[in-house]
Chain A
Amino acid sequence: MSATTTKPPLLSRRRTGSLGWHLGALAILAVILYPVVWVIGASFKPSKDIINSLRLFPSHPILSNFKGLADGIADISIWTFFQNSLFYAVGAVVGVLVSCSLTAYAFARIRFAGRNLLFSLMIGTLLLPYHVLLIPQYVMFQKLGWINTYAPLLIGKYLATEAFFVFLMVQFMRNLPRELDEAARLDGCGHFRIYWSIVLPLCRPALITSAIFTFINAWNDFMGPLIYLNEPGKYTVSLGLMMFRDSDGVAANYGGMIAMSLVALLPVLLFFLAFQRYLIDGMATSGLKG
């Protein structure tokens, strides 16, 4: 383009701009990460200090909160909790990706009778608070003999009941140029081929976003595992965390709890770090940028 003449000033402007950008970003970060740093600091404090002092860093850092985790919680290795959470989270991600993308494709790309009605119904399911559905669902799952398994937690993910993700994917799929599948159609491709070979790859940012959100939601889910899982050996990390809490007025092991909550954060952070790259760059490489 014709920007060559203005290049030198633009460059220097860019450099100072870059410095300003980093300063600005870091300033916001400092505020936003302060609480995170506090949690990290607290994990090295004894329980008594956690509830007594407001300080960011411990005066006498200790490692015993983390060391205590190695012995497990209530005779259960913390690996058990992690394995359970991982199973639940990965299972949920697979389910959401498959079922929600199929549904979203139908909403976004296929013109079938009753589509609008179904779409409104789907949006409608977003609006009802989860709690009121809990008891009827529990009764149903219990009749099926699914209590104390992961089935009640996962089944919904495989049946696209997570309307948020269907909606998100619909939004992205509607954004894809229709010429693509019209061309494919002329080549004789059916819907499944178009879905699988064209729409899915191009929707990668939406899929990755959904995967990340699903993973995090499942990892942090408390109510579902609480209600449906009946033995500590099957508990997820979020339930394991509650085992530190006191009940009868006895002081709780806050140190252990905070240490555990930090350790519990690691897999989610790793998952995010691994996938966030695709999240944004996915758009850039999809060649749709114009």
Chain B
Amino acid sequence: MGTSRNVERRTILKAAGASAAALGVAATAGCGGGSGAGDGTVTIRYSWWGAEERAQKINKTIALFEKKYPKIKVKTDFQTYASFWEKFQTQAAGGNPPDVFQNAVTFLRKYDKRGILLDLKSQVQAGNLSLDHFRAGVTKVGEVDGKQLGIPVGSNTMALVIDKKVFEKAGVEPHTGWTWDDYFKALKTIHDRTKVAGDTGYFGIMYLYDLYLRQNGKAFYTKDGLGFDKADLTEWWADGYGRVKAGIVTDPKVVAQDFPKSSLSAGHGASEFTWDNFTVRYSSEGDSTYGLAPIPTMDGKHTGQYLASLMLSASARTAHPKEVAQFIDFMVHDPEVGTIMGYDRGILASTEQYAAFKPTDAVNKEIAQYEADTAKAGVLGTITPHPSGADTIEAAFLRISGDLGQGKTKVADAVKQFFTESEAAFQA
């Protein structure tokens, strides 16, 4: 052992001591937190999913609300869709869900079964929340077993988005009342003439299969299970896979590679089924022109469509049901809120807001027109509320059809796997 080491050790010691002292100071900067309650002022928590644009709009509407109801403070919290539900589930399981939150039809029964959702009927009766002045039948979306579990903010419906340029080039034109045969023939023509696959993967979209089943007098869900049998699904998936192999439907490998872009905007497919209000994305991602087309039918008339909707729901555990109801009422009925939000969460659901906001851009105009046309055509039915576990089943449907499209599983195995997983999801 050398003597020099001791000297060095001493200097090290000093340095270590100094840095520890510096760190020690930092350590005393404690963790403040918790909001002080006040003088009759009530604070409610409002959570939703979305991105910063929606956040800015919502912040503005909350400022309006707080001006009108100075005794109610609203704290917001938002994440992306997947993170939102993760967090919501953790909070709900811990008995600490937000007072008000954005909700979708898939989750109504799931969280109703678990006693998380407040039946807003009593608040309607108390006069804190109005169910009047909604567009035709849209409040039904939030109704489960006679309970009003959600109040719609905006509606949407399934639509077919097409690449107009490709359709034109192939000389194909969609028309109201066209049949599935017409549609698949069109896809083949498109593929033959332009070398582009006609569709980006229709057979994996649960909501589209629901429409198809409804056209055939069934539905994807019953109150507590699946509304179709293995033979139905086998046919649907076998046809779908056949069309992938024929090149009419985009290769799922390509779809996965195009993500986060849609294969439609990447030019790898000529049409795609999705919610009408999602079509904004295509023009911002891709270079072609995109338009909305009618859903194909079995009988030349019935599309099976219905209005779905994003909703606001309240927690059954909220300490301030009245204030929460007032908040929801304001958010769905106030015209000024309507002009701020626009079609961000679908076509505005209440007539007050629908009248207050008139879209100026081409895409949103077309969406509004599409829903108006669909309503006029008299094809809109009512939605079947999804049973508990529907969120899991939707994901499984998409995933397993993806496996199938990749050729990683046989149709029979895929169908079997789907039914097994559905069983587990209903039981959970």
A–B direct contact (CB < 8 Å): yes
A residues contacting B by CB (< 8 A) are: 47-48, 51-52, 73-75, 87, 90-91, 93-95, 97-98, 134-135, 138-139, 142, 145-151, 154, 179, 197-198, 200-202, 204, 226-227, 230-232, 234, 239, 242-254, 285-287
Query: CB-CB contacts of B57-79 with A at 8 A, as 1s and 0s?
Result: 00100000000000000011111
Question: Could you say which residues of chain A place their CB within 8 Å of the CB of B53?
Answer: 250, 253
Query: Interface residues of A: mostly helix, strand, loop or mixed?
Result: helix
Cα–Cα, bound, A98→B49 (Å): 39
Contact status of A287 and B8, CB under 8 A, knowing A226-B79, A230-B77, A253-B51 = yes
Select the stretch in B83-91, B333-341, B377-385 that faces chain A: B83-91
CB <8 Å contact, B75 and A230? yes
Distance between Cα atoms of A171 and B34 in the complex (Å): 41
Q: How many residues of B contact A (CB 8 A)?
A: 59
A151-B90 in contact given A201-B12, A232-B78, A244-B51 (Cβ < 8 Å): no
Q: A75-B55, A226-B86, A242-B79 are in contact. Are A97 and B23 (CB under 8 A)?
A: yes
Minimal beta-carbon separation of B234 from chain A (angstroms):
30
Asked if A135 and B52 make an inter-chain contact with CB atoms under 8 angstroms apart, the answer reads no
A55 to B401, CA, bound (A): 32
Minimum CB–CB distance for B24 against chain A, Å: 8
A254 to B5, CA, bound (A): 54
8 Å CB contacts to A: which residues of B9-35?
9, 12-13, 15-16, 23-24, 26-27, 29, 31-34
Known: A75-B59, A248-B277, A253-B52. A232 touches B77 (CB 8 A): yes
- What are 25 of the A-B contact pairs (CB < 8 Å)? A48-B284, A90-B26, A91-B27, A91-B31, A93-B23, A94-B26, A97-B23, A142-B96, A146-B33, A147-B96, A151-B33, A179-B1, A197-B13, A202-B12, A227-B87, A230-B75, A247-B50, A247-B80, A247-B84, A249-B274, A249-B280, A250-B53, A254-B260, A287-B5, A287-B9
A204 touches B16 (CB 8 A): yes
A254→B52 CA distance, assembly (Å): 12
Q: Complex Cα distance A227/B26, Å?
A: 25
* In the complex, chain B residues whose CB is within 8 Å of the CB of A75: 55-56, 59
Could you tell me if B278 and A91 are in contact, using CB atoms closer than 8 angstroms? no
User: B15's closest neighbor in chain A, by CB?
Assistant: A201
Residues of chain B within 8 A of A51, CB atoms compared: 260-261, 285
Residues in B with CB closer than 8 Å to A248 are 49-50, 81, 277-278, 345
* A256 (CB) vs chain B CBs: closest residue: B52
| CB-based contact B93/A135 at 8 Å | yes
Inter-chain contacts of A202 with B (CB < 8 A): 9, 12
In whole angstroms, what is the CA distance A134 to B378 when docked? 49
Question: Which B residues are in CB contact (< 8 Å) with A48?
Answer: 284-285
Known A226-B87, A231-B76; further 12 A-B contacts with Cβ < 8 A: A48-B285, A74-B56, A142-B96, A147-B96, A201-B16, A231-B77, A232-B77, A249-B281, A250-B278, A253-B52, A254-B260, A287-B9
Residue B2, interface by CB 8 Å: yes
CA distance A239 to B79 in the complex (A): 8
B33-56 residues with Cβ-Cβ distance < 8 A to A are 33-34, 45, 49-56
Do the beta carbons of B52 and A74 come within 8 Å of each other?
Answer: yes
Q: Which residues of A contact B78 (CB under 8 A)?
A: 74, 232, 243
B36–chain A nearest beta-carbon distance, Å: 13
The residues of A that contact B274 with a CB separation of less than 8 Å are 249
With known contacts A87-B29, A204-B12, A247–B49 Cβ distance under 8 A: yes
Minimum Cβ distance to chain B for residue A80 (Å) = 14
Check if B75 sits within 8 Å of A231, measured CB to CB.
yes
Nearest-CB residue, chain B, relative to A282: B12
Answer whether A52 and B83 are a contact pair too, CB < 8 Å, given A246-B51, A286-B12: no
Contact B51 A138 (CB under 8 A): no
Assess the A149–B32 pair: CB atoms within 8 A. Answer: yes
* CB neighbours of A287 from chain B (8 A): 2, 4-5, 8-9
Inter-chain contacts of A242 with B (CB < 8 A): 79-80, 83
Contact with A along B228-241 (1 / 0, CB 8 A): 00000000000000
Inter-chain contact A142/B94, CB cutoff 8 Å: yes
A232–B96 Cα distance when bound, in Å, is 18
Residues of B within 8 A of A286 (CB): 8-9, 12
The interface residues of chain A lying within 8 Å CB-to-CB of B96 are 142, 147
Contacts of B49 in A (CB 8 A): 247-248
Chain B residues with CB under 8 Å of A254's CB are 260
Q: A52-B261, A134-B90 are in contact. Are A252 and B278 (CB under 8 A)?
A: no
Determine whether the beta carbon of A243 is less than 8 Å from that of B285.
Answer: no
Q: Is the CB of A252 within 8 A of B51?
A: yes
A269-B171 Cα distance, complex, nearest whole Å: 56
CB contact under 8 A between A138 and B284, given known A51-B261, A249-B274, A252-B260: no
Please, which residues of chain B bring their CB within 8 A of the CB of A95? 27
Interface centre among A75, A135, A250 (most CB of B within 10 A): A250
In contact, B261 and A244 (Cβ under 8 angstroms): no
B95 adjacent to chain A (CB < 8 Å)? yes
B178 within 8 A of A: no
A142 B32 Cβ-Cβ under 8 A: no
**Is the CB–CB distance between B285 and A251 below 8 Å?**
yes
Closest A residue, CB atoms, query B29:
A87
Q: How far is the CB of A75 from the nearest CB of chain B, in Å?
A: 5
Instruction: Kindly state whether residue B275 has any CB partner on chain A within 8 Å.
Output: yes
- Which residue of B24, B31, B94 contacts A150 across the interface (Cβ within 8 Å)? B31
> Smallest distance from the beta carbon of B161 to chain A beta carbons, Å?
10
When the two chains form their complex, are residues B94 and A244 in contact, meaning their CB atoms are under 8 A apart? no
For A245, the chain B residues whose CB sits under 8 A away are 51, 80
Complex interface: chain B residues within 8 A of A146 (CB): 33
Q: How far is the CB of A261 from chain B (nearest CB, A)?
A: 15
Chain A residues with CB below 8 A from B26, complex form? 90-91, 94
